[in-house]
Amino acid sequence: MNIRKIADAAGVSTATVSRVLNAQQGTRTAVSEKTRRRVLDTCTRLRYEPNTHAKRIFARKSWVLGVIMPAFGPHQVEAQRFDVNEGNTIAGIMHSCRQMSYNTLLLIADNAFISRREYLRVLRSRMVDGLLIWGACLDEDYIEDLKEETSDFLLVYTHGGHQDVNFVQSDHKAEGKLMCEHLLELGHRRIGFICGPETSTVALERAEGFSSALRAGGVYDSRLIVKGGFAEEDGWRKAQLLIERNSSITAIGCVNDESAMGAFRAMRSRGLRVGKDISIIGADAEYDHQIIRLTTVDPHMFKVGQLSARRLVEHLDAEKRDPDTTPERITITIPPLLVPGETTAPPIA
């Protein structure tokens, strides 16, 4: 099947078919909606599949976006679990990529990937047109290396302290602030917070937002802000520590939902009823399928993924249209949403 047969079946010229198919790849064209629909319906009816190799040569692009994820697994010094946030983001990226006829290439930023500068090789070899980098941290120097080479990449979920590059992120300070304000509005005044890793800008910004709301409410107590981590075990250990420091504490905020579930189990082990005797709130909207509906904040990861892919492709297209002009930097921050559950309630008088 070729475009001549499509043109004959649709009653249009081969040039019109070509314009319509190119428009599906993001190229603007002056074809009426009625004609465009007729051509696409004909392609569907005749099961036409475009020649991907020819399309790449003609367009001088790969139609692939690389997605760099943090390393996880037993061979990494600080192994990270492939979590729901990552999965939701990838789902959003792939949703937008399918709409734009792009494919995705998943790349894992382990030690070998970084030391061999594979992130530059995939760009230079045109294996990918651009890179989406998830969950950048403060200590990732390879992003600075990338920045010296190209602007064809975008940081996803957090800017990781690299604020002079393209990014689409959740508003992590607002997430922390929203968590605390919810507890304050319920009437809590003895409130603790379990922080995350100090290399994570997500964790640092959530702690900053939470602490700022505590101060605004006049209830900040530095003894009740404890260093922790993202794991359930961190939540378990640090929730026990908070109770030992102040047995009259009535609410605990946690840097993410996994640590919040650890705090939940720690309080249950002490005979406390979560959502009655003590309130717990997390972040990420990750645990709606668990034994209890956790009160949390939703960072809209699917939307972050969608926007990231779409804006990066728009950036790449703008560069191609006018190579002498640097496209405007992408800086998008998406506000969170409170998701009330069963683990927060007014304190018992």
Rg (CA), the chain: 24
- Would the pLDDT of 90 be above 80? yes
pLDDT at position 179? 98
* Residues 141 and 235 both lie in one domain: no
Q: What is the mean pLDDT of residues 172-199?
A: 97
In which domain, by residue range, is 71 found?
64-170+301-336
The two structure tokens encoding residue 176:
């922390």
The reply to whether 343 falls in a domain is no
In this prediction, residue 72 carries a pLDDT of 58
Q: By the 8 A CB rule, do 339 and 284 touch?
A: no
Clarify whether residues 44 and 113 are in a common domain.
no
Regarding whether 283 and 185 lie in a shared domain, the answer is: yes
Any idea what the CATH number is for the domain that residue 14 is in?
1.10.260
Residue 29 sits in the same domain as residue 138: no
**Residue 53 confidence (pLDDT) above 50:** no
> Whole-number mean pLDDT of the chain?
88
Lowest mean pLDDT of 2-11, 31-40, 77-86, 179-188, name the range: 77-86
Convert the pLDDT of each residue in 209-268 to its tens digit.
999 999 999 999 999 999 999 999 999 999 999 999 999 999 999 999 999 999 999 999
User: Does residue 346 form part of some domain?
Assistant: no
CA–chain centroid gap for 4, Å, is 43
Q: 238: burial class by Cβ within 10 Å (0-12, 13-18, 19+)?
A: buried
Does the structure show a pLDDT above 60 at 270? yes
- Alpha carbons within 13 angstroms on the beta-carbon side of residue 343 total 29
Confidence of residue 136 (pLDDT cuts 50, 70, 90): confident
Confidence of residue 24 (pLDDT cuts 50, 70, 90): low
Q: The tokens 């937002």 sit on which residue?
A: 209
Please state the rounded mean pLDDT for residues 62-84.
67
141: Cβ contacts below 8 Å, ≥ 6 apart: none
* 182 and 37 inside one domain: no
Choose between 167 and 72: higher pLDDT.
167
pLDDT at 144: 85
Q: Inform me whether the pLDDT recorded for 294 exceeds 70.
A: yes
| Residue 141: pLDDT over 90 | no
The three-point CA angle 36-38-43 to 5° equals 95
- Angle CA 35–38–39, to nearest 5: 90
Q: Which residue has the higher pLDDT, 72 or 103?
A: 103
In a shared domain, residues 308 and 162: yes
Mean pLDDT in residue range 83-112: 91
178 and 155, same structural domain? no
In a domain, 100, yes or no: yes
**Percent of the chain's residues with pLDDT above 70:** 89
Which conformational region is residue 79 in: left (phi greater than 0), alpha (psi within -120 to 50 degrees), or beta?
beta
Q: What is the mean pLDDT of residues 19-23?
A: 75
- Which distant-in-sequence residues (6+ apart) come within 8 Å of 116 by Cβ? none
Q: Are residues 34 and 116 in the same domain?
A: no
For the ranges 68-77, 196-205, 211-220, the one whose mean pLDDT is highest: 211-220
Q: Which two tokens stand for residue 162?
A: 């690299």
pLDDT at res. 74: 42
Please give the structure tokens belonging to residue 32: 């009426």
Split into its structural domains, the chain has a count of 3
**Range 300-307 average pLDDT:** 96
C-alpha count within 13 angstroms, C-beta hemisphere, residue 37: 3
If asked whether residues 193 and 280 sit together in one domain, one would say: yes
pLDDT at residue 52 tops 60: no
Is pLDDT of 289 > 80? no
Share of the chain above pLDDT 90, in %: 59
Q: Alpha-carbon distance 194 to 198, whole Å?
A: 12
Question: Averaging pLDDT over each range in 22-26, 45-49, 334-338, which range is the top one?
Answer: 334-338
Structure tokens at 219: 């209830």
Of the listed ranges 28-37, 104-113, 193-202, the least confidently predicted one is 28-37
**Residue 130 pLDDT grade (very low, low, confident, very high; cuts 50, 70, 90):** very high
Distance CA 303, CA 300 (A): 5
- Together in a domain, 106 and 221: no
Please check the confidence at residue 77 and state whether its pLDDT lies above 50. no
Kindly state the average pLDDT of the residues 130-140.
84
Q: Are residues 307 and 162 in the same domain?
A: yes
Closest by alpha carbon to 64, among 95, 28, 27, 106? Answer: 106
Same structural domain, 95 and 127: yes
pLDDT of res. 303 = 96
Instruction: Confirm whether 125 is domain-assigned.
Output: yes
